[in-house]
């Protein structure tokens, strides 16, 4: 399924051990199958607990907050069926499952800045861009967060739009308390909408 990626840096493949851990120990995986029972897409949630790969550490969560973190970890859809909403459906199911567990408050994820489908789907599912930094070695990633207890509402008069390539501006906005909550697709760049929390 990784075939056909224009930019392979957009997807960070998991190792066999990581997949085994997601499937068996600390995660939940969902698969979508076609009528021939072939796998056409999958997505996973991971519950990192006190492990050092907990994305909450990047967003300054501490103590018991870290134990309430669930990651949306991977999403991969077969090239033949991309653009038909499969990732959205898989992510939606995973998030509903996490909500029903009532054990987790924070849903976190990382997305490459140029990965429009994954970014669009995450923002539609109410995660918001809360960080932008290098992860997994030196790969630049948006850090996305959804707080199930305190849903984010954006102050409509605070909205600023910027291109996904304008890293410095986005990092400055995030540092000033802005959240990325929407994205639009232009032919040469993505336009990300940032806003302040409505209080």
Ligand X SMILES: CC(C)(COP(=O)(O)OP(=O)(O)OC[C@H]1O[C@@H](n2cnc3c(N)ncnc32)[C@H](O)[C@@H]1OP(=O)(O)O)[C@@H](O)C(=O)NCCC(=O)NCCS
Q: Which of 22, 70, 94, 111 binds ligand X (CB under 6 A)?
A: 111
Q: Which residues contact 152 (CB under 8 A, 6 or more apart)?
A: 126, 128, 146, 179, 181, 197
Closest CB to ligand X among 165 and 176?
165
Closest CB to ligand X among 105 and 120?
120
- In angstroms, give the least distance from the CB of 73 to ligand X: 9
- Pick the stretch among 18-26, 80-88, 143-151, 169-177 that binds ligand X (CB under 6 A): 80-88
- Pick the stretch among 56-64, 100-108, 116-124, 189-197 that binds ligand X (CB under 6 A): 116-124
- In angstroms, give the least distance from the CB of 4 to ligand X: 8
> Which residues, 41 to 70, sit near ligand X by CB under 6 A?
none
Beta strands in 38-187 (DSSP E): 39-46, 69-77, 106-112, 128-135, 139-147, 160-163, 178-185
Q: Is 83 in the site for ligand X (CB under 6 A)?
A: yes
Give CA–CA dist 84/79, Å, rounded: 11
- In angstroms, give the least distance from the CB of 135 to ligand X: 11
- In angstroms, give the least distance from the CB of 174 to ligand X: 19
Q: Is 84 in the site for ligand X (CB under 6 A)?
A: yes
Closest CB to ligand X among 138 and 157?
138
Question: Are β-strands 178-185 and 139-147 bridged in parallel, bridged antiparallel, or unpaired?
Answer: unpaired
Q: Is 170 in the site for ligand X (CB under 6 A)?
A: no
Q: Which of 28, 32, 70, 77 binds ligand X (CB under 6 A)?
A: 77
Q: Are 197 and 190 in contact (CB under 8 A)?
A: no
Task: Please calculate the CA angle 43-135-140 and round it to the nearest 5 degrees.
Answer: 95
Q: Which residues contact 97 (CB under 8 A, 6 or more apart)?
A: 28, 45
Q: Are 136 and 168 in contact (CB under 8 A)?
A: no
Residue numbers of the site for ligand X (CB under 6 A)?
1, 5, 10-11, 75-77, 82-88, 111, 115-118, 120-121, 185
């Amino acid at each position: 399924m990784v075939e056909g990626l224009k930019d392979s840096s957009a997807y960070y493949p998991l190792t066999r051990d990581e997949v085994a851990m997601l499937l068996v120990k600390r995660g939940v995986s969902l698969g979508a199958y076609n009528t021939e029972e072939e796998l056409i897409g999958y997505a996973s949630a991971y519950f990192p607990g006190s492990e050092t790969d907990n994305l909450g550490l990047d967003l300054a969560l501490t103590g018991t907050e870290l134990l309430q973190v669930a990651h949306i970890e991977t999403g991969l859809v077969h090239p033949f069926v991309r653009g038909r909403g499969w990732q959205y459906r898989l992510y939606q199911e995973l998030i509903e499952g996490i909500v029903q567990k009532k054990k987790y408050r924070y849903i976190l994820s990382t997305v490459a800045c140029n990965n429009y489908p994954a970014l669009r789907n995450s923002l539609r599912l109410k995660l918001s861009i809360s960080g932008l930094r290098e992860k997994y070695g030196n790969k630049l990633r948006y850090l996305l967060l959804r707080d199930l207890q305190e849903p984010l509402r954006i102050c409509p008069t605070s909205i600023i739009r910027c291109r996904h390539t304008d890293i410095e501006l986005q990092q400055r906005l995030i540092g000033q308390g802005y959240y990325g909550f929407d994205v639009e697709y232009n032919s040469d760049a993505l336009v990300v909408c940032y806003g302040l929390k409505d209080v």
